[in-house]
């Protein structure tokens, strides 16, 4: 799963050098807050507009793969009367869990890759990988049926799935880096 954290570019650059990111939110560290604030894809723009609108420093959106995180993520309702949950990271963000960064500025101003481009790019890659698996299965079923008209299609399907699924997972992990 992908979650997001808004960071000052300078803090992220420091984290890349050290290997871990420990800022929780604006001017508060993980040690001070107890966790690192994060958000889902439908929340980060509202968080930026609400809490980061007056930040003059360059900002980056960290795209975090939760499967790569070494710290646990807990969905919690934050204090302050908000009725929705947000992901909280209970430990530092290891730099290799950040699979992409997107430059963001003040609300309404954005440079570099937009979130829409990021989302559409990921969806397009996933569509291609799914199509690859479907094509491999179709090919194996046709070849299997030619080799053995009675059981060949089923054997071809089984072989294609046994080979194709790990192949697609491996390609997805390589493309996501």
How do residues 143-173 score in pLDDT, each as one tens digit?
Answer: 999 999 999 999 999 999 999 999 888 887 7
- Give the three-state DSSP class for 133: helix
CA-to-CA distance for 177 and 175, rounded, in angstroms?
Answer: 6
Contact of 105 with 58, CB cutoff 8 Å: yes
How far, in Å, CA of 177 to CA of 174, rounded?
A: 6
- pLDDT at position 113 is 54
- The 10 Å Cβ neighbour count of residue 61 is 24
In this prediction, residue 120 carries a pLDDT of 74
pLDDT at 111: 46
Cα 107 from Cα 96, distance rounded (Å):
28
DSSP 62: E
Distance CA 165, CA 159 (A): 10
pLDDT at 81: 66
Angle 144-126-123 from CA coordinates, rounded to 5°? 150
User: Which positions of the chain have pLDDT values less than 70?
Assistant: 81, 105-118, 175-177
What's the confidence (pLDDT) of residue 171?
A: 82
pLDDT for position 83: 82
Query: Which tokens hold the place of 118?
Result: 């990021």
Per-residue pLDDT, 30:
97
Q: Are 63 and 107 in contact (CB under 8 A)?
A: no
Tell me the C-alpha distance between 168 and 129, whole Å: 6
């Amino acid at each position: 799963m992908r979650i997001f954290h808004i960071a000052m570019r300078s803090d992220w650059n420091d984290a890349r050098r050290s290997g871990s990111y420990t800022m929780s939110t604006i001017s508060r560290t993980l040690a001070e807050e107890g966790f690192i604030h994060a958000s889902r894809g439908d929340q980060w723009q509202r968080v930026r507009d609400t809490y980061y609108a007056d930040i003059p420093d360059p900002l980056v959106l960290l795209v975090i793969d939760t499967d790569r995180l070494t710290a646990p993520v807990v969905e919690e309702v934050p204090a302050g009367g908000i009725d929705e949950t947000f992901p909280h990271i209970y430990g530092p963000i290891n730099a290799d869990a950040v699979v992409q960064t997107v430059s963001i500025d003040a609300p309404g101003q954005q440079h570099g890759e937009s979130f829409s481009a990021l989302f559409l790019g990921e969806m397009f890659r996933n569509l291609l990988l799914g199509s690859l698996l479907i094509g491999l299965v179709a090919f194996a079923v046709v070849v299997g049926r030619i080799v053995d008209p009675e059981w060949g299609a089923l054997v071809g399907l089984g072989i294609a799935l046994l080979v194709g699924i790990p192949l697609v997972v491996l390609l997805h992990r390589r493309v996501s880096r």
